[in-house]
Amino acid sequence: MARQQALHVMGNRPRPYVMAHRGNSVKCPENTLAAFRQAIEDGTDAIETDLHVLADGEFICIHDATVDRTTNGSGAVKSMTREVLQSFSASYGRPGFANERIPTLRQVLEILPQTTALALELKSDDFLEETVCVKLWLLLQEMRTDDRTVVLSFSKERLQAVRRYAPRISMGTITMFALMPGVGELTGPWWPFMLLNPFYVTIAHRRGQLVCPLDPTPEPRLWLYKLLGCDAVLTNDPALTLRALGRK
């Protein structure tokens, strides 16, 4: 079976594509429906979010392994059910967002436009398990987002497990150490590697990979990413990045 290429939904939009890091986390609390809706309104090409697994098996969109930093609650994400976790405010202490909650992946998929791609960073070793990987793939298929979703991780083992149990899913490697592209259809190197290895993008493209530097405040370096031919850029503020690219 052919693997999906998650960014194909961009069509003929100009590159680099814009990927909203945890939604628009400048205007809204990160990884909330408010942040994702704002990024979509801004015109982002793709949404990036983080993924954990709850005690009841639900996929939840939060970066940390605990809720302490981004909510008014406390405790390990993995030990909680959806009911408990979503009883906390995910306002991140920001006024006007007291009613925001940490969303499930299903809730995010429900608001994702058909022309917007999705990047899911796998944050735990739960994604080494066959049942978890298969459940994720089935959910993406059910919500008809399987052909525009890419799973990302710093962990090669997690990516290999997802590829083993859901072979059609797109995947990508994030790295802060390797000067060469990793495995998958997309590679996300820490942005200084673009300077340390100016042939990084060329090598990735020869391998059929897309490149999105790990740089959530890319505006000062957009000229470099465009010069090198990067396919996408990550950003905390998609509206600002799109304006800087002359797209809005």
135 lies in some domain: yes
State both tokens at 134: 């298969």
CATH of the domain at 103: 3.20.20.190
Q: Which long-range contacts (CB under 8 A, 24 or more apart) does 151-157 make?
A: 151/119, 151/120, 151/121, 151/122, 151/127, 152/48, 152/119, 152/120, 152/121, 152/122, 152/186, 152/188, 153/121, 153/122, 153/127, 155/122, 155/125, 156/182, 156/183, 157/125, 157/128
Q: Domains in the chain: how many in total?
A: 1
182 confidence band (pLDDT: 50, 70, 90) = confident
Model confidence at 11: pLDDT above 80: no
* pLDDT reported for residue 216: 98
8 flagged as catalytic:
no
At 85-143, the pLDDT tens digits run: 999 999 998 999 999 999 999 999 999 999 999 999 999 999 999 999 999 999 999 99
52 flagged as catalytic:
no
Percent of residues, the chain, with pLDDT higher than 90? 92
27 lies in some domain: yes
Q: What is the pTM of this model?
A: 0.95
* Residue labelled with tokens 């987002």: 145
* pLDDT reported for residue 12: 78
Q: How far apart are CA 105 and CA 48, in angstroms?
A: 12
* pLDDT reported for residue 3: 46
Q: What is the mean pLDDT of the chain?
A: 94
1 lies in some domain: no
Range(s) of the domain holding residue 220: 6-244
111 lies in some domain: yes
Model confidence at 24: pLDDT above 60: yes
Percent of residues, the chain, with pLDDT higher than 70? 95
* β-bridge mates for residue 208, sequence order: none
5 confidence band (pLDDT: 50, 70, 90) = low
Catalytic residue among 8, 21, 52, 205: 21
Give Cα 161 to chain centroid, integer Å. Answer: 18
32 lies in some domain: yes
* Residue labelled with tokens 């000062």: 220
